[in-house]
Amino acid sequence: MGIFDKLFSGSSEPKEEKILPWQALTDISQLNTIAEKSISKTQLIFKHSTRCGISSMVMKQFVASYDIEMNADLYYLDLLSYRDVSNEIGYKFQVMHQSPQLLVIKNGVVVAHASHGAINDMALDQFI
């Protein structure tokens, strides 16, 4: 029964959750700072809808696979709470709104972006 025990029994040890170095994106003025900082360091913006199951699933996968050692600043936008910031991202960086969405910003411009499942297919290390 060893194989069935492994398949169907839960581990008694709690799973340690990975904590990412998120910076909350809550104000439109932060977008200028992000653009300026992107000249010397890659900036990532993760736009998340807290009421969407797909967005939550993609975010969990992103967190699980994200390399914490990556030399990039990582911003989190709760787009339901800060819709004005989300709208301004579209104008400033010339990307159509999607949710969930990940934007990669270098030298003041978006060099890559993806939404939904394509977020976790991005090879972020190529932009660092």
Q: Tally Cβ neighbours within 10 Å of residue 24.
A: 12
pTM: 0.85
| Contact between 103 and 44 (Cβ < 8 Å) | yes
Q: What mean pLDDT is predicted for residues 117-127?
A: 90
| Angstrom distance (rounded) from CA 98 to CA 122 | 16
Q: What are phi and psi of 88, to 5 degrees?
A: -65, -35
9-48 tens-digit pLDDT:
555 555 567 889 999 999 999 999 999 999 999 999 999 9
| Angstrom distance (rounded) from CA 54 to CA 33 | 30
Query: For helices 83-93 and 30-37, what crossing angle results, to 10°?
Result: 40
| Angstrom distance (rounded) from CA 88 to CA 56 | 23
Indicate the average pLDDT of the chain: 88
Q: Where are the domains of the chain?
A: 19-127
Alpha-carbon distances of 63 from 22, 41, 46, 50, 56, rounded to whole Å: 10, 20, 11, 15, 11
76-98 tens-digit pLDDT:
999 999 999 999 999 999 998 88
Q: What mean pLDDT is predicted for residues 106-126?
A: 93
| Contact between 55 and 99 (Cβ < 8 Å) | yes
Give yes or no for residue 128 having a pLDDT over 90. no
How many residues does this entry show for the chain? 128
* Rounded percentage of the chain residues whose pLDDT exceeds 70: 88
DSSP 8-class letter at 94 = T
Identify the CATH number of the domain defined by range 19-127: 3.40.30.10
